Amino acid sequence: MVKDLYLIAGLIIWCLPAILALAGQSWQTETGSLSPVVMALGLWTLWQTLRTSQTSRSQVPAGLAILAIMLLLPLHLAGAILDMSALLGLTAWAGLCVVFTASQGLARTREAAFALLFIGLIIPLPYSLSLPMTLRLREAIADWATDVAWLAGMDVALDRDTIIIGGYELAVDAACSGLNSTLSLTAIGLLYAYWSRNHGWHRMAIICCLSIPIALAANILRVVFLMLLVTWTGLDVLSSYLHPLSGIVSFMAAMMLLWSCDRLLDQLGLYARPWIAREG
């Protein structure tokens, strides 16, 4: 028990610079604003996995763990000195995996692999990946939202990523591109699917696949809703509380839709079992 407390204290010291760097940089952006929630859920999942594990605890030779930490240390220090939050986050997460494996053993690490990988989702993507993703998603959201609004009978046109409606020009910015909610809902969808894995891995895969189109659909409807508000009240509505509130509402609606799809799969499974039994 005392040894575990020392390990936890060491991990806190090891990870604290990364947490502070991420809190001051990545977590202040639209894309990473929900990363603290993802980290908390990942740590909770890790704890629950350990608490319910039936696998006996073993230990990896301490020399291998020390060697791995020594190899990570120069990169960790470089990330702290150069203020590179992504590098700090990566080395902090790698250190967590090393210490967990060394203290719990390979068998328990395999059981906790999902939780450890889930925590790794807080590591920010390089700008070379996140920026093109944001730009392409912004253009796609603007295009799809314009099509939906046109089908709904609204007088709307699109000029690249600028929506023209009622004499107003609306630029779809990063906050409305949906990258944050898409990544966050996908992450939470993965977690939800993991905890429902007893219903079957095929169902887990379906839930994971559904989380992405549901998140995109929710953001398209959010943009269409904002377009309606602008036509009714003018551009001032975009600087009011309704703009961020629409993002929260769309995210909650997407979560409810994901849960509803899971319940529907449950009902389809119940209805399919008697039919399969009769056919058999």
Instruction: Tell me the C-alpha distance between 161 and 138, whole Å.
Output: 7
> Contact at 8 Å (CB) between 150 and 156?
yes
Q: How confident is residue 279, by pLDDT bands cut at 50, 70 and 90?
A: very low
Quick one: how far is CA 21 from the chain centroid?
Answer: 19
Q: What is the pLDDT of residue 75?
A: 92
Q: Which of 13-22, 30-39, 138-147, 206-215 has the weakest average pLDDT? A: 30-39
Say what the pLDDT of residue 217 is. Answer: 84
pLDDT mean over 52-80: 86
Q: Quick one: which H or E segment has residue 169?
A: strand 168-171
16 versus 251: the higher-pLDDT residue is 16
> Which two tokens mark 217?
């659909």
pLDDT band at residue 74 using 50, 70 and 90 as cut-offs: very high
Q: Is the distance from CB of 250 to CB of 181 less than 8 angstroms?
A: yes
Check pLDDT > 60 for residue 280.
no
Q: How many CA atoms lie within 13 A of 256 on its CB side?
A: 7
Model confidence, pTM: 0.71
Percent pLDDT > 70 in the chain is 82
User: What pLDDT is stored for residue 262 in this prediction?
Assistant: 79
Q: Is the pLDDT of residue 273 over 60?
A: no
Q: Are β-strands 156-159 and 162-165 bridged in parallel, bridged antiparallel, or unpaired?
A: antiparallel
User: At 82, which amino acid appears?
Assistant: L
Closest CA to 16 of 95, 112, 106, 121: 95
**Which band of pLDDT confidence, cut at 50, 70 and 90, is reported for residue 104?**
confident
Predicted confidence (pLDDT) at residue 51 exceeds the cutoff of 50: yes
Residue 197 has what pLDDT? Answer: 64
C-beta of residue 222 within 8 angstroms of C-beta of residue 250: yes
Specify which residues 156 forms β-bridges with: 165
Give the residues across from 159 on adjacent strands: 162
Helix axes of 201-233 and 242-279: crossing angle, nearest 10 degrees: 150
Q: What residue spans of the chain are helical by DSSP H?
A: 2-24, 35-52, 62-81, 85-104, 106-111, 113-119, 127-151, 174-177, 179-195, 201-233, 242-279
pLDDT recorded at residue 185: 67
Confidence of residue 35 (pLDDT cuts 50, 70, 90): confident
Q: How many residues are listed for the chain in this entry? A: 280
Reported as a single tens digit per residue, the pLDDT across 191-250 is 777 776 666 667 777 777 888 888 888 888 888 888 888 888 777 766 777 766 777 777
Burial class of residue 237, CB neighbours in 10 A (0-12, 13-18, 19+): middle
Q: Is 240 helix (H, G, I), strand (E, B) or coil?
A: coil
Tokens of 2: 């005392």
Domain limits, the chain: 2-124, 128-279
